Chains A and B, each alone.
Chain A
Amino acid sequence: MMRSKLKRLGEPLKQPAIAIFFALLVGAAAILVTGENPLTVYAAMAKGAFGSTYYLLTTLTRATPIIICGLGAAVAWSSNYMGIGGEGQMIVGGFVSAILALNVPGPAWFKIICSVVGALAAGGLYSALSAWLLEKFKMSLAISTLMFNYAAQYITMHFTANVFLDTTGDAKMTQTLMLAEELRLPKMVETYSLHWGFVIAVLLVAAIWFVMNRTSFGYESKMSGYNVDFCDYGGISSRKVMYGMLTLSGVICALAGVLEVYGVQYRYVHNTYVSASYAWVGLNAALISDYNPVGILLTSILLAGIQTGGAAISRATSVPLEISSIIQGCITLFISAKIAFKFRGRLLRRPRPYGAQAAEGEEGEA
């Protein structure tokens, strides 16, 4: 009994573990090309990711937007609406929150409420636009969200550079002015980078888990994920699920941008989210953990660790920082093959008598 329970808990970990192992092998080959020893590099990487309070907290800071974007991607993808617009949604959230926090008059609490609500609403509406295009024009969600990523990037750049540019400093960055001290999200530990946004991200993990597993909305979206047509047949409005899930996904990803503004940069800086590719890493985290919120939390920390570790070794050795993108791309690529393993499992089971097979069919497949 206990053993089967353990096995059931371990089952979802098997595939990611295999994928990570092979991805590390590919990474080791890349490291060999640079002339370094993969084992020492990986050891240095682990140390640079989790080896000290400073590194650990840096990794967690980096993981915060990844966790949130991962959750945003998961709610949309698990209900079968595969948008790749996390990047644009995060940009919109960060930009709008910075602009509002800088320009709304009144006391600090009023500024914060206006800016956060405004940013989340903007992210949600922005994402709902893709849903509208899908409904009215049957436009592929992948293409519309991708195009909007670039459009959002350049349009916010236009406003940052031509309207809200910070001209006080000497820095040649395209960025807004800084938020006033009293608006900023405090650090969790003095002198370290980790801010309270990480706690918000963890709370969000719990909230999304609750919505997905314990509410009728979550159930409906799950059904929509299994089969959209069947879902309409069963009395669930697929239209409602589509708008709901895509808007929610936009709101969540916008929050990632808001927290970057309030907790890390204290301003909107053009290109920071794109060059760190938070949204894409978040999507990868969601895919690796099969849209499970707790899995996303852990995977995001792991992926953020690969990145901070990668940055640490690129300073100390001749291995470039991009080793982390290579490993990460390989993990998701190998994860994608999971359907093949399941498929093979079913083939092996086929020769059993009909009754046994029907009983097994109850398990279903995700």
Chain B
Amino acid sequence: MDINLNYLAVVFNSTLRMMTPILFVALGSALCNRVFIFNIGLEGMMLMGAFSAIVANFYTGSVAVSLLAAMLSSMLVAYVAGVFMVKFKGAMLVVGVSINSLVSGLTTFLMQLVFGGKGAYVSPDLVSLPKIDVRFLSGMPLLETMFSALTYLDIFAFVLAVILYLFLFRTVTGFRMRSVGINKVAAESLGINADRLQIRTVVFSGLLSGLGGCLLTMGGVTMFAQNITAGRGFIAMAAGTLGAAHPLGVIASSAFFGLAQSMANMLQNSAISSQLTMALPYVATVVALALYNVMQMKRMPKGKA
């Protein structure tokens, strides 16, 4: 393997493209963590968005309609999840597991009705998200490689992280959300409608998952395959935790998982077994979380950890 600057630029580019779908969902997970919701259903919401985007794409061939369909369908799933978690006081893990198996079944079910078969659906008629034109960087080939083939949605993920950071720490609603997460009863005693805030946060996390799912199926290769998310929603949850539920921290942790995935893809052409490199992102998640938690525990005063 020839490691040079150009190779690093390719890795950088592939990391960027791998991390942004995770980043969207991880931001949703971070917001849920802030209002004390452990939302394992993000995997299902992401899958719903990924599927709806391709269905809308199939029928209309419009990028805008596909994006809208992805967001709305994921928000609908998220609303059901939120109502069951908050209003009906269902155990969050149970609701999440049910949502995931429900959506996995539903998308495969509908896939057969719409596309007439299981497995994967690819068609030249599908449109993909518009790519950013990087020809203005042609003077600098390294930069051109680093930022080639990105969509506007990729860039928006980073912008959104900054916006959400400002929202969470500089607005009244953000302050209320964090207070609900710290102590729901105390927050309610101050007149905050905590239930409503929690449900709205879950619905918003659904919107973000929808965008992440849409980016997954329409960003690089435009296609839908059965259970295409393959645990990315779960990885995003881990990223949310690893980033300390802080929007800017989540950028860093998502970048880490993006790197692990792009390394897995890169190493597929090398002598290392491709099956082992596929296990890499998942093992890396556990190791990174363990290291992060050790650092957190060291920082805490003795006896409290």
Contact = CB atoms under 8 A, between A and B. Distances in A.
B166 to A, nearest CB: 28
B286 A162 contact: no
Contacts of A326: 102, 105-106, 109
Contact of A151 (B113, B279, B293): B279
Nearest to A335: B94
Interface string B234-254: 110110010000000000000
Nearest to B83: A337
A343 interface: yes
Interface string A128-146: 0000010011111011101
Contacts of B285: 143, 147
A147 B106 contact: no
A284 to B, nearest CB: 7
Contacts of B94: 287, 332, 335-336
Contacts, number: 151
B256 interface: no
A148 interface: yes
Nearest to A338: B90
A320 interface: yes
B275 interface: yes
Given A140-B241, A146-B231, A148-B282, A328 B105 contact: yes
Interface string B274-305: 01101100110110011001100100000000
Nearest to B297: A138
Range of interface residues on chain B? 35 or more
A323 interface: yes
Contact of B283 (A147, A337, A340): A147
A33 B275 contact: no
Given A137-B293, A139-B286, A147-B286, A336 B84 contact: yes
B147 to A, nearest CB: 30
Contact of A146 (B38, B91, B234): B234
Contact of A283 (B97, B273, B286): B97
B95 A148 contact: no
Nearest to A141: B93
Nearest to A332: B98
B241 A322 contact: no
A328 B113 CA distance: 20
Query: Which of B237, B285, B294 has the most chain A CB atoms closer than 10 A to its own CB?
Result: B285
B105 A322 contact: yes
A212 interface: no
10 contacts: A82-B93, A143-B238, A147-B234, A154-B276, A157-B275, A161-B275, A323-B109, A332-B94, A333-B95, A336-B84
Give 6 closest A-B pairs by Cβ, nearest first. A325-B105, A329-B102, A336-B90, A158-B275, A154-B279, A333-B98
Given A33-B113, A329-B101, A340-B88, 13 more contacts: A82-B93, A84-B97, A137-B289, A137-B297, A139-B293, A143-B234, A147-B235, A162-B273, A277-B101, A322-B109, A326-B105, A336-B88, A336-B91
